[in-house]
Chain A
Amino acid sequence: MSHDKKQAALDEILRSSGVDVRKCMRCGKCTATCPAFDEMEYHPHQFVYMVEKGEIEKLAASPSIFKCLSCFACMERCPRQVEPAKLIEAVRLSVIREKGANHLKPEQVPALLDEDLPQQAITSAFRKYSK
């Protein structure tokens, strides 16, 4: 990716997430709090740091972005209000948009419905995997 393109991708992530990555003081509370830690290749604090360094490509290619539960615990607990989950969501969205292919289509939803599955989980998944 050219430098300009890289910068554009970074700007887009920062703009769409509304996150100021420079606020991060690298305390790691986000990662300490993350329930999906074991599933993830890059952890919330690394996410923030990588965005700061402009490594959007690496993040976009990582399955981690779909492992995030969107529980927002990292946002709630971050002392600096950096809101890592918003960054993850922004990268995920950019990937979904780029591919033009939603991970989850409305017609797939009925098949996924399960009496034990909370309605909230479907809504949340739909928000995460489609646009």
Chain B
Amino acid sequence: MQRIGVFICHCGTNIAATVDVKAVAEALGREPGVVFSTDYQYMCSESGQTLMRDAIREHKLTGVVVCSCSPRMHETTFRKAAEKEGLNPYMVEIANIREQVSWIHKDVAEATEKAIILGRAAIAKVHLNKPLKAGESPVTKRALVIGGGIAGIQTALDIAEAGFEVDIVEKEPTIGGKMAQIDKTFPTLDCAACILTPKMVDVAQNEKIKIFSYSEVESVKGFVGNFKVAIRKKARYVDEEKCTGCGICTEKCPQKKVPNEFNMGLDTRRAIYIPFAQAVPKVATIDANYCTMMKTGKCGVCQKLCGAGAIDYKQQDTIVEREYGAIVAATGFNPMKPTQYNELGYATCEDVVTSLELERLMNAAGPTAGTLLRPSDKKHPHTIVFVQCVGSRCDAENEKGKPYCSKICCMYTAKHAMLIREKYPDTEVYVFYIDVRTPGKNFDEFYRRAVEQYGVHYVKGQVGKVVEENGVLKVQASDLLSGEQLHIDADLVVLATAVEPDKSARSIATMLTASMDTNDFFTEAHAKLRPVESPTAGIFLSGVCQGPKDIPETVSQASAAAAKVIGLLAKDKLTCNPCVAESDEMLCNGCSSCEKVCPYGAITYTDKEFRGPNRTTLIRRVASVNPAVCQGCGACTVACPSGAMDLKGFSNRQIMAEVDAICKM
């Protein structure tokens, strides 16, 4: 039998004016197990807490009930006070007689009666309370960043800066991501490479950072503080340790007809290649789909030329196992391929390009060495039409597009228009828009400059049709403000296509047990207050994988994610919430019902030996809960038919005792 002390708080007159606190103290004092019952003016005050501590000591209390304000207010206060006196904090329960009684009832008799019943329920619960101890789990002081774009780079650099090890897993042969393909950045028009490549070099030179390029995450096990990740290093047929990145192989390789993905397929590269000059790591990679040696066994030019002896046609994928305390998803995005919009002619007309293709066409390191020439006849375009919102802002039922605004297109289109007008003033530039959205520092000023200073024609309306006739793109569009249908003869049409999460994100989210929305963006733990954390503990979000954003926003979020990671890795041990689920192995059927409803993947099954009848042993499949992963929602406890699964602090019997106490009148 517990020895329970009951403390009724007056809360000044907040409670005492409506509840006869003396009567409550007296009534509850008669409850079985209650050895001490009193009332006091302010239980949360220093002297109130002292009163409670004295009583715990003098009356050898094993349980405490405080009838006061909401537990959301002072549960922690009273539990801490009890702990100071050597009582397990989870032996303290609160009966909420302020928010639920005195503040909403006027009749003293009625309020007093209800206060007594709520007090009884709390006492009934405390009778079944057990001391709980928060578990601890160690933290592996290393973070994994999945994705080596600007988001992953920034997160990794910030974590490394704080002194922790970071691994970056990048599926492409180099880090850099989409930013490396961009020519200039809005709203300042700095050259993207000029600000990105130094950061890439920092990553390469940072002793705390290890890059797994041309690698993918194979599997993730474990939980916050203790992840075990298998990384697949894809065979690149070049020994990374030996390759010096001299590039002789990439110049002499006889297979020249490989579409160059870095330039969006607008030119070609060799079968052995380094994506771009500032690649990190600067190591060659053989594209096995095109390599003559790999396909026919005859060639071997690169191997003969390589002074470092780095070429290895027999290289295999290898799996590396690493441990981490935290994982950051920075899987990024891709612009949608607008091939499904027949009317816009992307699939049929060479001179209809996407904005990212235009970036390459304008970049000094691009296929045209920075001179804007259209792909079909390599001539300078004189009339250029930009189309906004291609595939963005579609109805949710519309299978062709995305329901969200891609956020960055308005700004980069203004940038493109401005740069073109600046470099080629003889060019007419039309931008067809639905809305121009420019929230951001210096963003609207930037857009207005495009209109006012550079004379870009912004037309409120959409392009309905693009057809090619004798090398001219006939553009039919609406001008909603003048109520006209426009017919423009254009030389180049640029489509601002929707951004979509990288295809790999879905499978990575599954491995991380991190949730995603219907658009395959990672969901945050809280949309407002925890925007860089996933609901799964230890998983953090950086960059566009969480939602469309531009570079400054990506970098801020990347640093925010890093700060969260650092906060986690700085701890030696994690204290777990002790109110977690627990499985009684003797009752568990091993049926997996609980596992299916666990949002955290906290439940695992093992085959365990049990004593059977007649001195036999039998193997049974039983569930066990990882207390470091369990967040204590209790979904599993109801899914369990045998009652094997129960929740500490909110056990079946505790809740039923409360029910009984409330219904007994």
Contacts and interface: CB of A to CB of B under 8 A. Distances in A.
Given A31-B464, A32-B463, A34-B464, A25 B478 contact: no
Interface string B446-486: 00000000000000111111000000000011111001010
B557 to A, nearest CB: 28
Contact of B480 (A34, A38, A45): A45
B394 interface: yes
Nearest to B480: A28
B389 A32 contact: no
A80 B462 contact: no
B352 to A, nearest CB: 15
Q: Is the interface of A mostly helix, strand, loop or mixed?
A: helix
A68 B564 CA distance: 59
B343 interface: yes
Contacts of B397: 81
B393 interface: yes
B395 A31 contact: no
A29 B393 contact: no
Given A33-B343, A37-B485, A79-B393, A28 B398 contact: no
A34 to B, nearest CB: 7
A38 to B, nearest CB: 7
B246 to A, nearest CB: 50
Interface residues of B, number: 24
Contacts of B462: 27-29, 32
A23 interface: yes
Contact of B478 (A31, A38, A80, A82): A31
A25 B392 CA distance: 12
A105 interface: no
Interface residues of A, number: 22
B339 to A, nearest CB: 15
B347 interface: no
A25 B464 contact: no
Interface string A29-44: 1111110011000010
A77 interface: yes
B301 interface: no
Contacts of A26: 434, 480
A85 B93 CA distance: 65
A38 B485 contact: yes
B367 interface: no
Contacts of A38: 485
Nearest to B399: A81
A28 B478 contact: yes
B341 to A, nearest CB: 8
A33 B395 contact: no
Contacts of B389: 27, 79
Contact of B476 (A30, A33, A46, A80): A33
B325 interface: no
B395 A79 contact: yes
Nearest to A46: B483
Contacts of A31: 461, 464, 478, 480, 485
A53 B463 CA distance: 25
Contact of B401 (A25, A43, A79, A82): A79
Given A25-B434, A31-B478, A32-B485, A81 B461 contact: no
A80 B395 CA distance: 4
Interface string A78-98: 011110000000000000000
Interface string B411-446: 000000000000000000000001000000000000
B431 to A, nearest CB: 14
B465 A33 contact: yes
B480 A80 contact: no
A31 B480 CA distance: 8
B397 to A, nearest CB: 6
Interface in B160-191: none
Nearest to A20: B395
A29 B462 CA distance: 5
Contact of A45 (B395, B401, B478): B478
Contacts of B483: 43, 46
B611 to A, nearest CB: 64
Nearest to A79: B394
A25 B403 CA distance: 12
Interface in A105-125: none
A33 to B, nearest CB: 3
A103 to B, nearest CB: 26
A46 B464 CA distance: 16
Interface in B379-408: 389, 393-395, 397-398, 400-401
A32 B478 CA distance: 4
A87 to B, nearest CB: 16
17 contacts: A25-B434, A27-B389, A28-B461, A29-B463, A29-B464, A29-B478, A31-B480, A31-B485, A32-B465, A32-B476, A32-B477, A32-B485, A33-B464, A43-B483, A46-B483, A73-B343, A73-B464
Interface of B: 341, 343, 389, 393-395, 397-398, 400-401, 434, 460-465, 476-480, 483, 485
Given A29-B464, A37-B485, A81-B398, 15 more contacts: A25-B434, A28-B434, A28-B480, A29-B462, A29-B463, A29-B478, A31-B461, A31-B464, A31-B480, A32-B463, A33-B465, A33-B476, A43-B478, A46-B483, A80-B393
